[in-house]
Copies of this chain bind each other. A is one copy, B any other.
Amino acid sequence: MATLDTKGREASYLADIIEACGRKTILIDVGTGRDGGDKPADAKTPTELLKQIAERTRSKVGDLLGAGTISAIVGVAGGRASAVFGEVVSELPYGVPKFLVSSARPALLAELATHSDIILYPTLVDLFGINVFTSRVLKNAGRAIAATHYAPVKLGRDKKIVAITAFGVTTPAANQCVARLADAGVAAIVFPANGAGGHKMEQLIAAGEFDAVIDLTITELGDEIVGGTPSAGPDRLKAASRQQIPQVIAPGAIDMVNFGLPSSVPDQFRGRQFYAHTPYTTLMRTTASENASIGRLTAERLSRAKGPTMVLWPAKGVSDYDRQGGIFYDPDADKAWLDAVKGHLSAHVMVRDLNCHINDGEFAEAATAWILEQLTQEGASHADV
Please determine whether B21 and A147 come into contact, CB atoms closer than 8 angstroms.
yes
B-chain residues with CB within 8 Å of residue A369 when the two chains form the complex: none
In the A-B complex, the 10 residue pairs with the smallest Cβ-Cβ separation, listed nearest first, are A110-B110, A144-B144, A95-B136, A126-B190, A105-B194, A147-B147, A106-B110, A128-B190, A143-B147, A106-B113
Docked pose: A279 CA to B90 CA in angstroms = 14
Please determine whether A51 and B119 come into contact, CB atoms closer than 8 angstroms.
no
Q: In the complex where A149-B140, A279-B47 touch, is A194 in contact with B132 (Cβ < 8 A)?
A: no
Docked pose: A144 CA to B97 CA in angstroms = 10
Please determine whether B189 and A133 come into contact, CB atoms closer than 8 angstroms.
yes
Q: In the complex where A111-B261, A123-B117, A140-B97 touch, is A278 in contact with B145 (Cβ < 8 A)?
A: no
Q: Does A348 contact B (CB under 8 A)?
A: no
Of A195-203, A235-243, A293-301, A311-319, which binds chain B?
Answer: A195-203
Which residues of A approach B to under 8 Å, CB–CB?
Answer: 6, 21, 45-47, 50-51, 78-80, 83, 86, 94-95, 97, 103-114, 116-126, 128-129, 131-133, 136-137, 139-140, 143-150, 155-156, 161, 166, 168, 171, 174-175, 178, 182, 187-192, 194-197, 200, 229-230, 260-261, 276-281
Contacting residue for A125 out of B45, B83, B108, B200, CB 8 A = B200
Docked pose: A83 CA to B278 CA in angstroms = 7
Please give me the residue from chain B that is nearest to A49 by CB atom: B278
B-chain residues with CB within 8 Å of residue A94 when the two chains form the complex: 124, 133, 136
* 18 A-B residue pairs with CB within 8 Å: A79-B278, A79-B280, A95-B136, A95-B137, A104-B194, A105-B114, A106-B196, A107-B107, A108-B281, A110-B122, A119-B140, A120-B120, A125-B200, A126-B197, A128-B174, A129-B188, A132-B187, A140-B149
B-chain residues with CB within 8 Å of residue A120 when the two chains form the complex: 109, 113, 119-122
Contacting residue for A200 out of B78, B108, B124, CB 8 A = B124
Chain A, interface SS category: mixed
Docked pose: A144 CA to B125 CA in angstroms = 22
Docked pose: A118 CA to B110 CA in angstroms = 13
B-chain residues with CB within 8 Å of residue A147 when the two chains form the complex: 21, 143-144, 146-147
Please determine whether B125 and A78 come into contact, CB atoms closer than 8 angstroms.
no
B-chain residues with CB within 8 Å of residue A79 when the two chains form the complex: 168, 192, 194, 277-278, 280-281
B-chain residues with CB within 8 Å of residue A281 when the two chains form the complex: 79, 83, 108
Please determine whether B149 and A143 come into contact, CB atoms closer than 8 angstroms.
yes
Please determine whether A143 and B139 come into contact, CB atoms closer than 8 angstroms.
no
Please determine whether B114 and A280 come into contact, CB atoms closer than 8 angstroms.
no
B-chain residues with CB within 8 Å of residue A83 when the two chains form the complex: 278-281
Docked pose: A103 CA to B97 CA in angstroms = 17
B-chain residues with CB within 8 Å of residue A133 when the two chains form the complex: 94-95, 189
Docked pose: A182 CA to B9 CA in angstroms = 15
Closest Cβ of chain B: how far from A295's Cβ, in Å?
A: 24
Closest Cβ of chain B: how far from A149's Cβ, in Å?
A: 7
Contacting residue for A280 out of B21, B108, B128, B188, CB 8 A = B108
B-chain residues with CB within 8 Å of residue A168 when the two chains form the complex: 78-80
